[in-house]
């Protein structure tokens, strides 16, 4: 039972609210003697942080990570790594006007009903600001995996659907993803997406997104049936991200439409090396990695904070209307890319260690 | 870290292989003084058990549950409830011919690579036979929830997509679901589905399915952000079921296509009672139940054991071909309905108890 | 949170009541490809089972273990090992007369108050009968450790104090322990102990005991500070045994009386090998094994079921008197020896796997 | 598996090293709407902090707690409470001379062997400085328990044995304990203890101690057999404190010497109220609280850092000698009193919530 802790061996616990003095995480179970640095972690932080383009919230946060423990002379010691990120640009006044109303699509209502208390400033704990900590933990996980598995290890994510706009996944290029503000893997779609998202923002509206994650270099044998399956833990990891409503592994929901012949991935030895002829399984069979690329995708619902007036109720149970101004992403899904990568990296490292525990 | 245990307070551990002498589960953390009986549990078992229609495997198992502990004079004592189900109809010889080959789409390959040993008889532990234990645990969870929440509590599932055949969810009738062998909620689709599945079976092929689950009467406040969110745990629960590749909460993957206006569910007080104007959230906001119906769906890939010859390799790494005869469901998704219900019930009870722990 | 589960990676869950049809355990997380058999496990069971000498309860139980899952062709498969032990000699009538009274020193009162229900037959779940399952799990742990560490690994326990009678620990001989009904390590004390215990039994009274455990061949580095220290987990393991009231590691409670000079164990290299000059630490420094023998001891209170009349109350809160006839051990501490060994073996294996997970 | 996390529902995770920039803890699972403040927590911190008398280390630390999250407008929100304590008085140079040697009785050797890396500055993570975080968490637990149980709830500890000097526990007075620098409960022993400890310090030596803890107002029914027994968790909690080598519940190790008649606590109704005639059980029967006072004690070994020269080895495996100067407590056991209280409070709250989860 771990309300704010993720993982089983490589565990991280996050804390902090959107408008508190700081947020942070404590990473436990990290293998010792791995080189890590604030600078390396910061690279991933910078990909998630707000205020980077006109397509994300204008809240300005440096998201500067500070390591408080667990690292000595540049190396992990095997003890807890405490990371803190100070909040800089909090404007709690922005939230005064809505402090007694529940924003539809947000967790204002459910938090208040559950806990009997509500930190209305920027959503408090329910804010996606918490995800900065996940990215920090994920950055550490990637460094560890790179050391344990070697350079063939890689995790990368991209937006493959931006609201109503798709892209051609066959044009996926890793190098392209980090060059555009949408994490779009298909160069040809970028212009169109830009126009689309500008019009969404202009309308004071918002849109959803689908993010696809790919991990390569993953050894066969990670995953622990039947209730710690690799896909089970990936599903939990991704569904725990704010605003996520669906998760697919490999062919995902679409596998329902396939025939048995189409779906199961045939195997062949070619020049002494195993090749699967397709990857509907997303690299996972019976909850265990097969050596193929791990492929998962997830949907992010449209930002709930929009300009249009919406019907709601207030804390006293009176009907009311609400229109959320503040500073918001027209598509929160975009910034979910580094978060998804981070969560996937954490799950993979966790299972790497779990497998090492049981199977040596 | 719980390889074969599910849950946090209301926990169950399953054990057993497809062709071993028995399978079973141990339920821990069950509240005391709840009336339960083998007869009540058997009702749910009977809905999952094989050999009930021509659309499921012809393996004949009674799936008769025997309670070995934790119940005294008809009531739970608060101590572990051990349930055993003896295997009756095991024909391990059927598997002799494939014992050295890896069936594509199955976990034969990954189990062997992970553990260095393989119980080939009916898939051993990877077999969906394990899910009988989940249904038993779910039956107990339902009885507990009915006592704690009252008669307004209900969990029901249905197949809403059978391979390429959809049905009209607007025609959903609970009473209809248990009358047909497909758990189809729409009376009008049954005939077509029957013809479709017969032709799939005749072709020696198989098809996938989508199952939708609905839980009503769930109080507001269940769910524990941020890593034990109610939707996180539902996603894990459903993804852990054999052959599941995708999970949706509410609008799920489709939420990517909605605008902010369409997606967030507006709230209104009507005659002193809160009504949401839609349920895209599937009854969960910020990981906490909102009081609306919980709605989740999941896809089941087509049965991997098919008659058509498929390319594969054997234990020695030689190329080979395989065609699986044996006794198999043309659509394993159908029998996933009671399993999905069971898992959802277990998650809901677990969160009910967790909420009681923290919030009283 | 694990009411009836012990361990973190190598976990076992026990179930069953003293007078139910059976008791059992499910072992999860066991490494694969280890040879185990019912016969090997039975050897340890036979050392704990009742009715073996006039110094233990006359309840006759074979305590025959049956493996229901997790082993294929004589080897562990990495999946759950389910073990069942059928109860044979239950005489629930013996307990009719006390079913409404609370036996002082027993958990009758607290179970009833906590759960609102009481299985009075032989104490139900509170009975030490549960410990048979621990011995089974411990037997498996020993087999795994012997494979992983090699033949230098050993765990052995002995009674070093029987009520008021001590023995000379300097005369400790492993081979002696298994030859006498008291698990006494000092040949010279056996005769005296026999006379002492006969007189205790004759008086209808009972006595306590102190058990010392020694594990050798344990590699340096097992233990995970600061809340999964090796000594922390040993203390929990031993204190969880029925009737245990105190636990010592190395010098234990007596370390309070030592000076800093006496207490800390000096280190010296002798012919290229590290030697500690004493072992007050019991082989554990900062929660991590040092390579010395692990030494722990624990006290078992005298059997609470005695013939003498005792003051108590009944379920209605009326004053009453009670005298417990039935079949009881005059010193339950004796049979705690194999239980202590089993628990220590389980903790050591658990930490072996944990260390392998984090530190490779 | 929780290396640096304690607890099951009310959990806290500690981080930080003796000579790092800060130490801290994250408390998760705290019930919402409880009034807490830095000021209240500071009271407990001040009782543990160093540099308060000539009988403790002269390291000067304010141990000022800062709450970074989880509290809004003076009340807990149900989200993680992050507490930070900045280190002020670190003199890492003091440790330069011993950085390559292993101090006997310390964890220098085992940490280095386990992790392959060593933070020699003040012992790094192995330092008892970590316990400041436990006291902070315990202070929160006490505030929550006082709210949930009411004013009859109390936890208090005292030193009952200081090296070779005992005191008369029958003279125990709560009010006396906080008035003297030894947390001695018996006014008559203070003078003698003062002389004794001064001479120990003067000799450059150190001594051990025994601490007794008492909790009153604890409701019947806390504790979860069989592997989360209340006494099991208390034993683990206390054994996890630095330098602790033994734990007793009630009569503890001495229960071995009692007869069945002496040991089991008889029960009597007096004016409608249940009274136990003794408390050998320490308030716990079958792992569940009986409503009596919870009584536990533990031993703390003498400080290992002493002036006398001791034999040891260095990192290269060479024989060497060591004499530890620095700033050290002549009896670390004294400062273990508030730590023991804190740990006991955390266990009690955890079990309070666990019981509420399962039994309502």
Q: What is the mean pLDDT of residues D65-72?
A: 98
- Name which of A24, A33, A77 is nearest D119 (Cβ-Cβ): A77
| Closest-approach residue (CA) in chain A for D81 | A15
- For the stretch A248-269, pLDDT in tens is 999 999 999 999 999 999 999 9
Q: Which of A197, A270, A286 to mutate to test the interface with B (most CBs of B within 10 A)?
A: A286
Q: Kindly list the partner chains of chain D, i.e. chains with 3 or more CB atom pairs below 8 Å.
A: A, B, C
Q: Which residue of B has its CA nearest to A13?
A: B227
The mean per-residue pLDDT over the stretch A82-98 comes to 85
Chain D nearest-CA residue for C114: D221
Residues of A in contact with C360 (CB under 8 A): 31, 356
D223: closest CA of chain C, how far (Å):
9
Q: Which residues of D85-123 are buried (b: 16+ CB within 10 A; e: fewer)?
A: bbbeebeeebbeebeebbbbbbbbbbbbbbbebbbbbbb
Angstroms from C35 CA to nearest CA on chain A: 15
- Taking alpha carbons only, the member of C324, C340, C329 closest to residue C163 is C329
| Section A49-65 average pLDDT | 81
Interface contacts (A, C; CB < 8 Å): 40
Report the chain C residue with the minimal C-alpha distance to residue B30.
C3
Could you tell me which residues come within 8 angstroms of residue D355 by beta carbon, excluding any fewer than 6 positions away? C114, D221, D222, D223, D224
Contact D245 C205 (CB under 8 A): no
The closest CB to that of A3, out of D29, D69, D119, belongs to: D29
Question: Could you tell me the CA-to-CA distances from B13 to A360, B84, B127 in Å, in that order?
Answer: 24, 12, 16
Give chains near C: 3+ CB pairs under 8 A: A, B, D
- Separation in Å, CA of B312 to nearest CA in chain A: 4
By C-alpha distance, which of B346, B355, B122, B360 is closest to B240? B346
pLDDT tens-digit map of D233-242: 999 999 999 9
What residues does C299 pair with on adjacent strands? C210, C246
Burial of D350 (0-12, 13-18, 19+ CB in 10 A): buried
Could you give the CA distance from residue D169 to residue D181 in angstroms, rounded to a whole number? 17
Which member of D29, D78, D358 has the closest CB to residue B78?
A: D358
- Tell me which of D12, D16, D22, D69 to substitute to probe the interface with A (most A C-beta atoms closer than 10 Å): D69
Task: Tell which of D76, D226, D358, D359 to mutate to test the B interface (max B CBs under 10 Å).
Answer: D358
**pLDDT attached to residue C324:** 84
Interface of A with D (CB under 8 A): 1-5, 8-9, 11, 13-17, 20-24, 26, 28-29, 32-33, 68-70, 72, 75-82, 84, 114-117, 119, 124-125
**Yes or no, beta carbons of B117 and C82 under 8 Å apart:** no
| Inter-chain residue contact A78 with D114, CB threshold 8 Å | yes
List residues bridging with A274 in a β-sheet: A269
Q: How far is C311 from chain D (nearest CA, A)?
A: 5
Q: What is the pLDDT of residues C6-43, one digit of tens each?
A: 999 999 999 999 999 999 999 999 999 999 999 999 99
Per-residue pLDDT at C58? 72
Share of chain D above pLDDT 70, in %: 99
Best residue in C76, C77, C114, C118 for a mutation probing chain B (most B CBs within 10 Å): C77
Cα distance from D176 to chain A (closest Cα, Å)? 38
User: Which of C29, C225, C358 is facing A353, going by the closest CB pair?
Assistant: C358
H helices present in A17-94, as ranges: 38-48
pLDDT for residue D276 is more than 90: yes
Minimum-distance CB partner of D72 among A22, A28, A117: A117
Sign of CA dihedral D49, D54, D56, D60: positive
Q: What is the per-residue pLDDT across A263-319, written as a single tens digit (0 to 9) for each?
A: 999 999 999 999 999 999 999 999 999 999 999 999 999 999 898 899 999 999 999
Residue-level pLDDT at A58: 72
- Residue D40's pLDDT is what? 97
Q: Which residue of B has its CA nearest to A109?
A: B290
Position D328 scores a pLDDT of: 78
In C, which residues are within 8 Å of B4 by CB distance? 26, 28, 79-80
The Cα–Cα gap between A52 and A181 comes to 8
Task: Select the residue of D114, D207, D319 nearest C259 (Cβ to Cβ).
Answer: D207
A25-40: average pLDDT:
98
Instruction: Identify whether the C-beta of residue B161 lies closer than 8 Å to the C-beta of residue B77.
Output: no
Chain mean pLDDT for chain A: 95
When pLDDT is averaged across residues D171-199 and rounded to a whole number, the result is 96
- D358/B29 Cβ within 8 A: yes
Selected for mutation to probe chain D from C246, C329, C347, C351 (highest D CB count within 10 Å) is: C246
C-alpha distances in angstroms, A201 versus A198, B261, D86? Answer: 5, 13, 44
Each residue's pLDDT tens digit in chain B (360 positions)? 789 999 999 999 999 999 999 999 999 999 999 999 999 999 999 988 877 777 777 778 889 999 999 999 999 999 999 999 999 877 777 778 888 999 999 999 999 999 999 899 888 999 999 999 999 999 999 999 999 999 999 999 999 999 999 999 999 999 999 899 999 999 999 999 999 999 999 999 999 999 999 999 999 999 999 999 999 999 999 999 999 999 999 999 999 999 999 999 999 999 999 999 999 999 999 999 999 999 999 999 999 989 889 999 999 999 999 988 766 789 999 999 999 999 999 999 999 999 999 999
Tokens 């104007």 correspond to what residue? B277
Residue D326 has pLDDT above 80, yes or no: no
Q: D239–C231: do the CB atoms touch at under 8 Å?
A: yes
pLDDT for the residue D95: 79
Average pLDDT over residues A47-51: 81
| Average pLDDT rounded to a whole number, residues D279-306 | 97
Chain D nearest-CA distance from C335, in A, is 14
Res D170 pLDDT > 80: yes
At C233 the pLDDT is 98
Segments in chain C below pLDDT 50: none
Among C318-327, D255-264, D309-318, name the one with the lowest average pLDDT: C318-327
Q: Which of A21, A72, A110, A147 to mutate to test the interface with D (most CBs of D within 10 A)?
A: A72
CB A224 within 8 A of CB A354: yes
Pick the residue from chain C with its C-alpha nearest to B78.
Answer: C115
Compare CB distances from D205 to C106, C261, C310 and report the shortest one's residue.
C261
**Model confidence, pTM:** 0.97
Q: CA Rg, chain D, in Å?
A: 21
- Selecting from C1, C4, C21 the residue whose C-beta is nearest the C-beta of B9 gives C1
Task: Give the C-alpha distances (Å, rounded to integers) separating B41 from B26, B70, B177, D157, D175.
Answer: 14, 14, 19, 50, 58
Q: What confidence score (pLDDT) does residue B111 get? A: 97
Could you say which of A9, A225, A358 has the minimum Cβ distance to residue C358? A9
User: Contact A354/C357 with Cβ under 8 angstroms?
Assistant: yes
CB contact under 8 A, B358 and D1: no
Residue D61: pLDDT band (50, 70, 90) is confident
The answer to whether the CB of D115 falls within 8 A of the CB of C359 is yes
pLDDT digits (tens, 9 = 90+) for A186-241: 999 999 999 999 999 999 999 999 999 999 999 999 999 999 999 999 999 999 99
d(CA A213, nearest CA chain C) in Å: 26
Residues of A in contact with B126 (CB under 8 A): 225, 286
Chain A hits for D20, CB-CB cut-off 8 Å, are 68-69
Instruction: Write out pLDDT tens, residues B306-343.
Output: 988 999 999 999 999 998 876 678 999 999 999 999 99
* Mean predicted confidence (pLDDT) in A107-131: 94
Lookup: tokens for C53: 């000498």
User: What pLDDT was estimated at residue A209?
Assistant: 98
Q: What is the pLDDT of residue C48?
A: 86
According to DSSP H, which parts of chain B are helical?
38-48, 108-115, 131-149, 174-177, 190-202, 230-239, 260-263, 336-359
* Beta-carbon count within 10 A of B343 CB: 32
Contact C256 D300 (CB under 8 A): yes
Q: Tell me which residue of B275, B274, B277, B273 sits closest to B263, measured CA to CA.
A: B277
Q: Which of D207, D319, D359 sits opposite C269 (nearest CB)?
A: D319
Which residue, chain included where needed, has tokens 């109860």? C87
pLDDT at D281 over 90: yes
Whether the CB-CB separation of B267 and B173 falls below 8 Å is answered with: no
User: Which residues of chain C does B99 touch, with a Cβ-Cβ cutoff of 8 Å?
Assistant: none
Q: What is the DSSP string of B131-155?
A: HHHHHHHHHHHHHHHHHHH-TT-EE
pLDDT attached to residue D292: 98
D48, pLDDT greater than 90: no
Question: What pLDDT, on a 0 to 100 scale, did the predictor assign at position C144?
Answer: 98
From C9, C225, C359, residue closest to A358, measured CB to CB: C9
pLDDT score of C50:
74
């Amino acid at each position: 039972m771990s309300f704010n802790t993720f993982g089983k061996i490589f565990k991280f616990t996050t804390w902090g609210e959107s408008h508190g003095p700081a947020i942070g995480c404590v990473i436990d179970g990290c293998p010792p003697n791995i080189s890590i640095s604030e600078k390396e972690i910061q690279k991933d932080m910078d990909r998630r942080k707000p205020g980077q383009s006109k397509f994300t919230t204008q809240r300005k946060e440096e998201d500067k990570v500070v390591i408080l423990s667990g690292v000595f002379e540049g190396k992990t010691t095997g003890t807890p790594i405490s990371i803190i990120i100070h909040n800089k640009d909090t404007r709690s006044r922005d939230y005064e006007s809505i402090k007694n109303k529940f924003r539809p699509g947000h967790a204002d209502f459910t938090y208040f009903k559950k806990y009997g208390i509500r930190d209305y400033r920027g959503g408090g704990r329910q804010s996606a600001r918490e995800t900065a900590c996940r990215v920090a933990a994920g950055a550490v996980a990637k460094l560890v995996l790179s050391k344990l598995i070697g350079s063939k290890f890689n995790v990368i994510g991209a937006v493959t659907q931006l609201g109503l706009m798709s892209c051609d996944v066959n044009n996926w290029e890793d190098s392209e993803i980090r060059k555009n503000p949408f994490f779009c893997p298909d160069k040809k779609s970028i212009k169109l997406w830009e126009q689309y998202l500008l019009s969404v923002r202009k309308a004071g509206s918002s849109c959803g997104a689908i993010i696809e994650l790919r991990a390569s270099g993953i050894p066969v044998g990670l995953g622990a049936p039947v209730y710690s399956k690799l896909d089970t833990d990936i599903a939990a990891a991704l569904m725990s991200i704010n605003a996520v409503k669906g998760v697919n592994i490999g062919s995902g929901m679409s596998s329902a439409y396939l025939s048995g012949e189409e779906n199961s991935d045939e195997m062949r030895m070619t020049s002494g090396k195993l090749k699967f002829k397709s990857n509907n399984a997303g690299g996972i069979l019976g909850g265990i990695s097969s050596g193929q690329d791990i492929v998962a995708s997830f949907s992010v619902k449209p930002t709930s904070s929009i300009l249009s007036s919406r019907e709601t109720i207030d804390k006293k149970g009176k009907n009311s209307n609400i229109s959320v101004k503040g500073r918001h992403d027209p598509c929160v899904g975009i910034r979910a890319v580094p978060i998804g990568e981070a969560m996937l990296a954490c799950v993979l490292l966790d299972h790497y260690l779990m497998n090492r525990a049981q199977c040596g």
